[in-house]
Amino acid sequence: MASSGKKTRGKQKIEIKIIKNEDDRLISFSKRRTGIYKKISKLSTICGGEILFIIFLPAGKPYSFGYPSVESVAKRFLNPNQPFNKTTDAPVEAYYK
């Protein structure tokens, strides 16, 4: 049977530009924030690295994500001679079990 045409537009490429409406910008940020947190978590699990992600909204409110924690990664960043935390492989080991 032949299809009578597309019912949806599918995945569309959007132009990257600032969203002028502040409410729409905040909604878009909150939706994309969860997506980036998932990607960062997956990267940390796959690579076994320590990750710190901080973003500040124009209003000045900070959002952060850190693995294994924001504090431990920030301390390690400020003191690079600190030994690598061996507990970061725990999620990978749990996945294999």
pLDDT of residue 73: 86
Instruction: List C-alpha distances in Å: 79 to 15, 66, 67, 69.
Output: 40, 16, 17, 15
pLDDT of residue 86: 53
Instruction: Report all structural domains of the chain as residue ranges with CATH numbers, in order of start.
Output: 22-78 (3.40.1810.10)
In the DSSP assignment, the letter for residue 60 is S
Number of H helices, E strands in the chain: 3, 2
Inter-residue long-range contacts of 30-33, CB under 8 Å, 24+ positions, other chains counted: 33/63
pLDDT of residue 21: 92
Give how far the C-alpha of residue 72 lies from the chain's centroid of Cα atoms, to the nearest Å.
18
Q: pLDDT, tens digit, for every residue of 15-68?
A: 889 989 989 998 988 888 989 999 998 998 898 888 999 999 888 889 988 888
pLDDT of residue 13: 86
